[in-house]
Amino acid sequence: MSFEKARKLIELAAMVRAHRQGVTLDDVVDRFNVAMRTAQRMVHSLEDMFIDTESFTDELGRKRWRMRGNGLRDFLTVTAEQTAALEVAIDAMVREGATAEAAHLRTIRDVVHALVPDNRAIRIETDHEALLEAMGLLARPGPRPLVDDSVSAVVAEAIKGCTLIEFDYTSNDGRTRRRTVAPLGVLIGNRRYLVGRDGDDDDGRPKHFRMDRMSDARSTNRSFVRPEKFDVRQFAAKAFGVFEREDEFGEVVLRFSAEAASEARSYEFHPSQTVTQLEDGGLEVRFHASGHLEMAWHLYMWGDKVEVLAPERLRNLVGNHRRGDFPALP
């Protein structure tokens, strides 16, 4: 067996051991980006090499594989690239104001480092620091939202336990009042938003609450039933950034000039986007989303190199702010 095949086999074993509910062939295909036939061969090799591997059929009739015991432990280690990736994730969480999540990642990082054998730890730490320095990770200034750590902690616990929370909330007009909310999820972008059902409203629709405007957050110790059909990822997919407005949702059509086409092609503006190369060298981008204000904030950086073709409301919002004197594209 080649070194690369052995490495992938150990990676597959780690994946199977980490998922107590087992993994399917489709999971292997997605993880390793291989054909179904290759995935089948990999799983067969796993069964041959690791006797703790067992297969079973789940309630949907799909065959799954899982691994019992700790026989894999001596084969596993981490690389400097992987520990550096943890630092990148921690840094990203801190910059986005997700301090509670960053603290959990730091704990995971410390546990991982503690499990590395001493004979490998020194080399990994040396390479780890070199990678961080090369990334410029330790010296990256920039604005980030400030969210009270205690608010983040209360929200996180309430989401896990399906518990109503209370907090003081300052609205756009500067008024502050006490709110009771059923927290459903958190959206992280330029700002952090709590998505939840407001106990003071009767429509039951999820609403956004800026977490930097929340204070004195407390659990009520009263439970709520999470809506079965609500998925925070699907909810977020309706927005360009993090703020979703039902009355704005629709098709957005952007036309980038030939000068900006190559840069625009390197962006994913929205997961639903389609991209068309135009005959004049320009680029047309289409997607369905809401959040015109966040779109306008982003499109401002492109100056007069982008034109909004639809919707009209967004076109009017951007129209008077298309500058032509920016020295570079985003």
- Tokens, residue 279: 């005959």
Mean predicted confidence (pLDDT) in 174-184: 94
Is 3.30.70 the CATH number for 246-319?
yes
Q: Just give the CATH number of 149-236.
A: 2.30.30
Kindly list the domain boundaries of the chain, sorted by start residue: 3-75, 80-139, 149-236, 246-319
* CA 54 to the chain's CA centroid: 32
- Tokens, residue 65: 């594989």
What is the rounded distance in angstroms from the CA atom of residue 20 to the CA atom of residue 108?
A: 19
Q: Is the pLDDT of residue 226 over 80?
A: yes
Residue 83 contacts residue 137 (beta carbons within 8 Å): no
Strands (E), 171-289: 176-188, 192-198, 206-210, 214-223, 250-256, 274-277, 283-289
* CATH class assigned to 3-75: mainly alpha
What is the rounded distance in angstroms from the CA atom of residue 12 to the CA atom of residue 31?
A: 9
Under the banding of pLDDT at 50, 70 and 90, the label for residue 138 is: very low
Collect all residues with Cβ–Cβ distance below 8 Å to 38 and sequence separation of at least 6: 32
Which pTM value belongs to this model? 0.60
Rg (CA), the chain: 24
What is the rounded distance in angstroms from the CA atom of residue 29 to the CA atom of residue 39?
A: 6
Q: Is the pLDDT of residue 268 over 70?
A: yes
**Phi (first) and psi of residue 265, to 5 degrees:** -65, -20
Q: Is the pLDDT of residue 94 over 80?
A: no
- Tokens, residue 69: 């015991």
